[in-house]
Structure 1
Amino acid sequence: MTPKLARFTILGTVIFVAALCTLPYLAVLLAALSGSTETLTHLMETVLWRYTWDTLILVSCTMFFSALIGTGAAWLVTMTEFFGRRWLEIALALPLAFPAYVLAYGYTHILDHPGIVQSGLRSLAGWGPRDYWFPEIRSLGGAAAMLTLVLYPYVYLLARAAFATQSGSAFLAARMLGKTPMQAYFSVSLPMARPAIAAGVLLVAMETIADFGTVAYFGVQTFSVGIYTSWFAMADRAAAAQLSLGLLAFALLLAFLERFSRGNASYVDNQRQPPMERIRLGGSSEILVFTLCFIPVLLGVIIPVITLFTMALGSEQDLLSPRYLGFIRNSVVLASVAAAVTVGAAMLLGTFNRVQGTRGAALALYFGRIGYAVPGGVIAVGLLVPFAYFDNTLDAWMRATFDISTGLLFTGSIWLLVIAYMIRFMAAAIGAYEGGIASVGPNIDAVARTLGARLPRLVRRVHIPMLRSSLLTAGLIVFVDVMKELPATLIMRPFNYDTLAVQAYRLASDERLSGAAVPSLVIATIGLVPVILLCRQMRRGMA
Structure 2
Amino acid sequence: MFSYFRILRPNGLLIATFGAALCVALPLCVVLSFIVTTSSDVWQHLVDTLLLRYISNTLLLSLYVAIGVACIGVPTAWIIAFYRFPGRNTLSWLLLLPMAYPAYILAYTYTGVLEYAGPILTWMRSVDMPDWVMSPFLHIRSLTGAALMLSLVLYPYVYLLARAAFLQQSANLMEAGYTLGQSRFSVFRRIVIPMARPAVAAGVLLAVMETVADFGTVQFFGVQTFTTGIMRTYYGFGDTPGAAQLSSVLLGFVAVLIILERNSRNRIKYYSDQMRRLDQAAQHLTGFPAFGVQVLCAFPILFGFLIPTILLVNWTIFDATMQSLWRLAWNSLALAGGSSLFIVGIALLIGYANRLFPSRSLSYVTTFIGLGYALPGIVVAIGVLIPFGAFDVWVSAQLAPWSIKPQLWISGTLVAVIFAYLVRFLAVANGNVVSGLSRLRPSIDQSGRLLGLSQTRVLTSIHIPLMRGSVLTAILVCFVDILKELPATLILRPFDFNTLAVRAYELAGQERLIDASPASLCIVLVGLIPVILLNRSIGKL
Task: Please give the TM-score of this superposition, normalised by the length of structure 1.
Answer: 0.93
Q: Distance in 1 between matches of 2:425 and 2:24?
A: 11
Q: Which residue of 2 aligns with 1:89?
A: 92
Mapping of 1:274-353 within 5 angstroms? Answer: 274-276=276-278, 277=280, 278-318=282-322, 323-353=324-354
In structure 1, what is the equivalent of residue 3 of structure 2?
none
Q: Which residue of 2 aligns with 1:393?
A: 394
Distance (Å, rounded) in 1 between the aligned partners of 2:435 and 2:300 = 29
- CA deviation after TM superposition for structure 1 residue 268, in Å: 1.9
Aligned residue type for 1:393: W
The partner residue of 1:120 within 112, 120, 123 is 123
Contact 1:349–1:364, Cα closer than 8 Å, also in 2: no
Paired residues of 1:97 and 1:528 also in contact (CA < 8 A):
yes
1:283–1:40 CA distance, 2 compared to 1 (3 A) = same
Query: Mean alpha-carbon deviation: is it higher for 138-147 or for 435-444?
Result: 435-444
* Matched residue type, 2:434: E
Query: TM-score, normalized by length of structure 2?
Result: 0.93
On the 8 A contact 2:7/2:357 being kept in 1, the answer is no
Q: Secondary structure at the match of 1:498?
A: coil
Q: Tell me the alpha carbon deviations over residues 357-412 of structure 1, each in whole angstroms, 9 at most, x when there is no partner.
A: 32321222122111111110000000010010011111111103x33236222102
1:125 counterpart SS class:
coil
* Residue identity opposite 1:273 in structure 2: M
2:503 is equivalent to residue 503 of structure 1: yes
**1:222 maps onto 2:225 in alignment:** yes
CA contact (8 A) 1:433 1:474 kept: yes
Distance 1:445 1:419, change over 3 A: same
Tell me, yes or no, if structure 1 residue 368 matches structure 2 residue 372: no
Q: Decide which moves more: 194-203 or 183-192.
A: 183-192
| Correspondence 1:149 to 2:162 | no
Cα 1:443/1:70, change in 2 over 3 Å: farther
Per the alignment, residue 239 of structure 1 pairs with 242
Question: Partners of 1:126 and 1:73 in 2: how far apart?
Answer: 33
The residue type paired with residue 15 of structure 2 is G
SS where residue 204 of structure 1 aligns? helix
Residues 267-292 of structure 1, C-alpha deviations (whole Å, 9 max, x = no match): 3246x433332210122221211111
Q: What's the offset of the Cα at 1:294?
A: 0.5
Alignment of 1:485-524 (within 5 A): 485-524=485-524
**What amino acid is aligned across from residue 321 of structure 2 in structure 1?**
Q
Q: In 2, Cα distance between the equivalents of 1:292 and 1:407?
A: 58
Q: Give the one of 65, 69, 82 matched to 1:66.
A: 69
> CA contact under 8 A between 1:35 and 1:238: conserved in structure 2?
no
CA drift of 1:449 comes to 5.0
1:496 Cα deviation after fit: 0.6
Matches within 5 A, 1:36-47: 36-47=39-50
Number of corresponding residues: 533
Shift of 1:46: 1.5
Partner of residue 209, structure 2: 206
Judge which range, 404-413 or 517-526, deviates more.
Answer: 404-413
- Distance of 2:383 and 2:249 partners within structure 1: 13
Conservation of the 8 A alpha-carbon contact between 1:473 and 1:534:
no
Q: Which runs of 5+ in 2 are unaligned?
A: 1-5
SS in 1 for 2:72: helix
Task: Say if 1:462 and 1:7 are closer, same or farther in 2 by CA, change over 3 A.
Answer: farther
Q: CA offset at residue 8 of structure 1? A: 2.0
Deviates more, 1:75-84 or 1:455-464: 455-464
Q: 1:236 to 1:261 in 2, by over 3 A?
A: same
C-alpha separation in 1, matches of 2:362 and 2:450: 23
Q: Counterparts of 1:385 and 1:415 in 2: how far apart (Å)?
A: 14
Q: How does 1:253-292 map to 2 (within 5 A)?
A: 253-269=256-272, 272-276=274-278, 277=280, 278-292=282-296
CA deviation digits over 1:330-372, x for unaligned, max 9? 1111111221122222222233233323232122212211111
2:356: which partner in 1?
Answer: 355
Displacement of 1:217: 0.3
Deviations 1:238-268, CA, capped at 9 Å, x for gaps: 1000000001121122122222222333232
Deviates more, 1:306-315 or 1:141-150: 306-315
- The CA deviation at 1:32 is 4.6
**Counterpart residue identity of residue 384, structure 1:** L
> Could you tell me which residue of structure 2 aligns to residue 466 of structure 1?
466
For each residue in 1:473-501, what CA deviation from the matched residue of structure 2 results, as whole angstroms up to 9, or x when unmatched?
22211111111110001100111110000
Q: Residue 483 of structure 1 aligns with which residue?
A: 483
Q: CA RMSD in A?
A: 2.3
SS at match of 2:426: helix
Name the CA distance, whole Å, in 1 between partners of 2:449 and 2:277.
40
**How far is 1:453 from its partner?**
4.8
How has the CA–CA distance of structure 1 residues 517 and 27 changed in structure 2, closer, same or farther, with 3 Å as cutoff?
same
In structure 1, distance between residues paired with 2:190 and 2:484? 39
Cα-to-partner distance string for 1:207-227 (whole Å, 9 max, x where unaligned): 111111100000000000011
- The one of 169, 174, 188 equivalent to 2:172 is 169
Q: Aligned in 2, Cα 1:315/1:36: closer, same or farther, shift over 3 Å? A: farther
Are 1:252 and 1:374, in contact at CA under 8 Å, matched by a contact in 2?
A: no
Change over 3 Å in CA distance of 1:75–1:439 after alignment to 2 = farther
Task: Determine if contact 1:35/1:239 at 8 Å carries over to the other structure.
Answer: no
SS in 1 for 2:136: coil
| 1:306 alignment partner AA | I
Other structure's SS at 1:482 match: helix
Question: Whole-Å Cα distance in 2 between the matches of residues 175 and 471 of structure 1?
Answer: 48
Native 8 Å contact 1:74 1:157 kept in 2: yes
Q: How far apart are the structure 1 equivalents of 2:445 and 2:203?
A: 33
- Aligned-partner Cα distance in 2 for 1:310–1:211: 27
Gaps of 5+ in 1: none
Report deviation, 1:5: 12
Determine the structure 2 residue equivalent to 1:194. Answer: 197
Shift of 1:76: 0.9
Q: 1:133 offset after TM fit, Å?
A: 3.1
Call closer, same or farther: CA 1:201–1:511 in 2, change over 3 Å. Answer: same
Change (3 A) 1:167 1:466: farther
